[in-house]
Chain A
Amino acid sequence: MLLNAVIIVLRETLEAGILMSVLLTISRQSGLGQRWFVVALAMGLVGAGIYARYLGEISLWFDYAGQEVVNAFLQYALYICLVVICLMNGFSAQRASQRNSVMMLGLLMVSVMLASIREGSEIIIFFTGYMSSGEALVKALTSGFVGLMIGGSVGALCYYAIILQKADKVRAIQTGVLTLVAAGMVAQASQLLVQVDWLPSAAALWNTSDYLSESSILGQLAYATFGYEASPTPVEAVLYIVSLLLIPAIFVGVYCYRKKSQSEGSSL
């Protein structure tokens, strides 16, 4: 068994599993069913295959920084989708309409596709390296299956853990988990851009790998859920904090604006 294969597949499927389980609970709550999920997942996996197939050419873009830049773009795009989904989900109780439902469905599908392309391509690229050797491929696939099952199981348990909550708590949990996952996307994208010098690299602000190693199971879980990095650079830390606070800030802003409007309306 190859520990590397387990770690790589686990990291990708854990992240995708948690994200997709939350998106499925939102879909369920919005009455959008689950058929779209199968379609989006299938399209995403096809997209991942195509992306992996042309990765050699893509890597040559932007002075050999193509893979990192495109991956970071996918992560940022996913972050934007998740922010909009979070806000629509938060305010949908007040504004449920046919138009919003169609928009939400579109965003959910795009998010699942982007996540599948991003995570799926990593896994495909990894396993392509083992295709030449039959014995090694069996080991890699077995290890990959272990990682897949752990990630899938966490996703399934996460889904049921959310839908079994009381209705008034569900939205708060969805928003909380999505905010963390979305900020994690930004953290990962920033790491990629630092690697190819698109963002300035500098000395790490801190190093917590002694307490929680990124390669440990718990470290992988933390990386998958909120983009944990043991030694972030200042730019990564700032981007992460901003992306983490953006969703709560919008909620607080809208709440304050409404309260102010109400008090002005009542005083007139």
Chain B
Amino acid sequence: MRSIRTFLVIVLLSCICLVTFLAVLHGYRSSLTEAEELLERQLVDLAQLVAVIDSNHDKPVLEHYSSDIWFQVWSAQLRLEFRSENAPQQRVVELNPLAGERFHRVSFQGNSWRVVLRQFNAELAAPIWVVVAVREDIYAALTEGIILKSVLPIIWVLPLLGLLIWGVVSVGMHPLNRLANLLGHRKSDDLTPLNREGYPAELLVLVDSTNDLLIRLSEAFEREKRFSADAAHELRTPLAVLKVNLHNLAKNNNLDEGDYRALVSSADRIGSSIEQLLSLYRTSAQERDQALSSVDVAKIARSIVADCYAECLRKDQQIELEAETLNLVSDPIAISTLLRNLVDNAVKYTPEGGRILVTVRRASEGAVGDLVAGDGGDISAGNGAVIEGVTVQVEDSGPGIPEDRRKRVFDRFYRLGGDQHDSTVQGSGLGLSIVEHIVRLHHGGIALGQSSALGGLCIQVTLYSRNGLEA
């Protein structure tokens, strides 16, 4: 069943039509029987009247009689004593008591006639037979006309009935439409329970189940948030202490230089993972209600590139920034986190002597549709409204990402080549997951490809002002 409304309207109308018209047919047959009985009674009455007229009439033919009815009066000796002028002069039915018990149908003058026969004065010496006939087509037209007049209103009222059923079904389905509308237009981060007021008992089960699901989802998000925050916080402090202790051990010559560097590198990697976990927490859907402001993306990009400059110099890399001043209504920390992750990744995975190009420009029309999100999902701008957007593109001359693994790089803790990463650079596998998360918050899109200018990875991110989308 594709539509409940269509189903209800068609089935209800069909049931009504079926029952009504079967009743009409039944009524038609019953009416015909009734009409025949009535006609018979009338013809018998007429026959009686003719018998009376016959006794007081001296002419053998009654002139100027109705053209639809005729009569004959036969003597016991089967002689035609009296008739209407339009009646036949010969017998049309057998004159016997058995024949008088039922209707007869005879053809005369090109018409079909309904004939009734009755014997009068049977107890007297001169009994007579009276034959009365009525034209069948006129009688049938009369009865059919009466029945038709009762059927036509039913037919005319059918379209009205259809509209009425359509209206009633629409009213009945209003709460269901309201619920569907409410759920359909809900923001993805709105996990508040639905209001139970105004829903019929049948839908309350659905509302309660949905509320139960929302509560459990909300609790799960809360647990995830708390776990990330607690884990990051609890791990960061002992890690700082660990690094101080390592430094002290190295200072007191109790630790080999190589071991010291390896231990510090591991500690840094743990630290990086913790920072990323914190970033993920800060940009999670639960944090969307924090104050938004106008963010100068180019300014943040310049700051990020400047921060990375020392590392680029160390690796003899050339980093360039092409940015036009563009403001985006967003969270500056989220934009900063996104840009840092993208540029850090480029610096990390571009070999020594390589090139990195960061571009910030206005998002072109239809940019979102052209992009491929991590899951191919929430990238549509939706209602086609004009939304201010920014495209950030980071290209490098590194090894890039094979096409078949591009989707997986957005998975949390996924690292290309696992822990045995070719570049030997430290990382947590959370960077692009965080980027994808921030892009999703901005209803933007991500495209991974090969840089035509530098030959390495080209990652293009489009972001839209968050107020424009949430209005």
Contacts and interface: CB of A to CB of B under 8 A. Distances in A.
Do chains A and B interact in one complex?
yes
Contacts of A164: 1
B22 A160 contact: no
Contact of A142 (B10, B18, B29, B151): B151
Contact of A150 (B7, B10, B17, B151): B17
Contact of B17 (A2, A3, A152): A152
Contacts of A3: 25, 28-29
Contacts of A6: 25
Given A1-B148, A1-B151, A164-B1, A146 B14 contact: no
B212 to A, nearest CB: 28
Interface in B1-56: 1, 7, 10-11, 13-15, 17-18, 21-22, 24-25, 28-29
B324 interface: no
B155 A217 contact: no
Nearest to B10: A156
B151 A157 contact: no
B285 interface: no
A34 B430 CA distance: 49
Interface in A147-195: 149-150, 152-154, 156-157, 160, 163-164
B18 A1 contact: no
B144 interface: yes
User: In this complex, which of B10, B21, B147 has the most chain A Cβ atoms within 10 angstroms of its Cβ?
Assistant: B21
Dominant SS at the A interface?
Answer: helix
Given A1-B28, A1-B148, A163 B21 contact: no
Contact of A146 (B10, B13, B151): B151
Contacts of B155: 142, 145-146
Interface in B141-197: 144, 147-148, 151-152, 155, 158
Contacts of A149: 17-18, 21, 158
B3 to A, nearest CB: 12
Given A139-B144, A145-B155, A217 B10 contact: no
A146 B24 contact: yes
Given A3-B28, A6-B25, A150-B21, A157 B15 contact: yes
A213 to B, nearest CB: 13
A195 B208 CA distance: 68
A160 B7 CA distance: 8
A157 B17 CA distance: 11
B151 A2 contact: no
Contact of A163 (B1, B15, B24): B1
A219 to B, nearest CB: 13
Contacts of B17: 149-150, 152-153
Contacts of B13: 153
Interface string A1-43: 1110010000000000000000000000000000000000000
A220 B53 CA distance: 49
A236 B17 CA distance: 35
A2 B18 contact: no
A156 B28 CA distance: 25
Contacts of B144: 1-2, 139
Nearest to B155: A145
Contacts of B148: 1, 138-139, 142
Contacts of A145: 155
Contacts of A152: 14, 17
A145 B155 CA distance: 8
A217 B22 contact: yes
User: In this complex, which of B17, B28, B158 has the most chain A Cβ atoms within 10 angstroms of its Cβ?
Assistant: B17
Contacts of B158: 149
Given A2-B144, A146-B21, A153 B28 contact: no
User: In this complex, which of B14, B144, B147, B155 has the most chain A Cβ atoms within 10 angstroms of its Cβ?
Assistant: B14
Contact of A154 (B1, B18, B25, B29): B18
A208 to B, nearest CB: 21
Given A2-B144, A146-B151, A156 B14 contact: yes
Contacts of A146: 21, 24-25, 151, 155
A157 B28 contact: no
A130 to B, nearest CB: 13
Contact of A1 (B1, B22, B147): B147
B90 to A, nearest CB: 32
B22 A142 contact: no
A150 B151 CA distance: 14
User: In this complex, which of A1, A2, A153, A217 has the most chain B Cβ atoms within 10 angstroms of its Cβ?
Assistant: A1
Contacts of B15: 153, 157
B241 to A, nearest CB: 64
A157 B18 contact: yes
Contact of B11 (A1, A139, A160): A160
Given A2-B144, A139-B148, A164-B1, A217 B11 contact: no
Given A6-B25, A142-B152, A163-B1, A157 B14 contact: yes
Interface of B: 1, 7, 10-11, 13-15, 17-18, 21-22, 24-25, 28-29, 144, 147-148, 151-152, 155, 158
18 contacts: A1-B144, A1-B148, A1-B151, A3-B28, A139-B144, A145-B155, A146-B21, A146-B24, A149-B17, A149-B18, A150-B25, A153-B17, A153-B18, A153-B21, A157-B15, A160-B1, A164-B1, A217-B25
List of 4 A-B pairs having minimum Cβ-Cβ separation, nearest first: A153-B14, A153-B18, A156-B14, A153-B17
Given A149-B17, A153-B17, 10 more contacts: A3-B25, A3-B28, A3-B29, A138-B148, A149-B18, A149-B21, A150-B17, A152-B14, A153-B13, A153-B15
